[in-house]
Structure 1
């Protein structure tokens, strides 16, 4: 499989290593100094694109992949206000798009645990839910995309919560998300339910970027030759 890497930072390099180890070819390594490779003729040399860039550039990069008729796997977070438009463009142009806030197999299983726990706790009014997410200091968005996904799952299952805030809170209608930035920290997400009697906590801790990178390559392998809008739930049959 021929892959165009859109974004060649630490994650791009980790994806490259995994992909090459599986026998795939990296036909383009695109960063701020090689944006000319985002042109249609260049992108069409790839079977699939994997996009890990910045919130400011992800939307335009995805549309360029659509224009080149290249399936695109996107892991950039912080731009999701434009996600509905991207999905509409994908369907209109009969393209293939897979977005995930986190490609780690473990995190996607954690999503399922979080959803189920939130459902179980929905009727337990003595418990207050909260979240802490910890990442490296180079991470550009806060809270993390993974934390937002987790928060949305909790809000969906707990109607008493009307939204989330990026700070600790005593407001029972809000889910507090505390974002910590320390090095080195590939990513930790902690969900806690506290009552006067006890606490329930579930935690996912990444030990390296390898899990995210491997998941992104798996998603690209799965997406090749497909059309439509997908997520890691589809890839992992969750």
Structure 2
């Protein structure tokens, strides 16, 4: 498979290394020095699929190009999810294929399933109060992380006693209806996410800690190998559901 790369930062480089190790070919590559938005219309014609780890401000323009070109795309760029309905309509109109995720770690996808199951149980146990915390390296541009937001939404959808997410520092008593989703930025941490349920008697924690970017690259490559031949808008959870449940 020939893979086009959009974004040659740390994640793009890790995906390229994983793809070559799996005997795929890295085709056209785009970054700040050679922007996709300035490339000719047929710039992706030699690629079987594109993997995008670029910038949030460029994501929607890039996605529109992938969809119109009919090139399946795996998108790890975040910051555009408020336009999800618009993207879904584009994908459906062109019978295109696009898979997106805020985090391509297979372990995080499994964590999401565990959190969903635990949160459903906790809905009947009001003594347990939930929270989400994440830690990332100090160069990360968004806070909270897209993964923490996703995990927070999973908890929020399951707990009737929580009505909204509050990601801000609290300088007075927090609204009991709020689910607190917090962040720490320090050092070179690849990514740590914890969902906890705390009661007066004990605390239950579900956590994931990334050891390197190789795990994220492996997940993105697995998505790239899974997506061709399909049409529609998918998440990494859809792929995991297919692999685990058939």
| Equivalent residue, structure 1, for 2:186 | 182
| Equivalent residue, structure 2, for 1:224 | 228
| Equivalent residue, structure 2, for 1:35 | 35
Q: TM-score, normalised by structure 2?
A: 0.93
Give the paired residue count: 238
Looking at structure 2, the residues matched to 168 and 110 of structure 1 have their Cα atoms a distance apart, in angstroms, of 25
Looking at structure 1, the residues matched to 202 and 180 of structure 2 have their Cα atoms a distance apart, in angstroms, of 19
Looking at structure 2, the residues matched to 83 and 34 of structure 1 have their Cα atoms a distance apart, in angstroms, of 27
Looking at structure 2, the residues matched to 22 and 46 of structure 1 have their Cα atoms a distance apart, in angstroms, of 16
1:38 positional shift: 4.4
Which runs of structure 2 are paired with 1:59-138 in the superposition (5 Å)? 59-138=60-139
Cα offsets for 1:100-142 (capped at 9, x unmatched):
1111111110000000111011111111111111111121111
Seen in structure 2, the aligned counterparts of structure 1 residues 96 and 59 have a Cα distance that, compared at 3 Å, is same
1:93 positional shift: 1.0
Give ranges in structure 1 of 5+ residues lacking alignment. Answer: none
SS in 2 for 1:164: strand
| Equivalent residue, structure 1, for 2:3 | 3
Looking at structure 2, the residues matched to 119 and 225 of structure 1 have their Cα atoms a distance apart, in angstroms, of 35
| Equivalent residue, structure 1, for 2:177 | 173
Per mean C-alpha deviation after superposition, the further-off stretch among 16-25 and 69-78 is 69-78
2:209 maps to 1:209: no
Cα offsets for 1:203-224 (capped at 9, x unmatched):
1000101111011011011111
Give ranges in structure 2 of 5+ residues lacking alignment. Answer: none
Looking at structure 2, the residues matched to 218 and 52 of structure 1 have their Cα atoms a distance apart, in angstroms, of 15
SS in 2 for 1:62: helix
2:31 maps to 1:21: no
1:187 positional shift: 0.4
1:45 positional shift: 1.2
Looking at structure 2, the residues matched to 109 and 33 of structure 1 have their Cα atoms a distance apart, in angstroms, of 37
Which runs of structure 2 are paired with 1:152-163 in the superposition (5 Å)? 152-163=153-164
Looking at structure 2, the residues matched to 185 and 102 of structure 1 have their Cα atoms a distance apart, in angstroms, of 15
| Equivalent residue, structure 1, for 2:144 | 143
Cα offsets for 1:1-45 (capped at 9, x unmatched):
010111110000000000000011111221011015744301121
Q: TM-score, normalised by structure 1?
A: 0.96
1:225 positional shift: 2.5
Looking at structure 2, the residues matched to 168 and 100 of structure 1 have their Cα atoms a distance apart, in angstroms, of 26
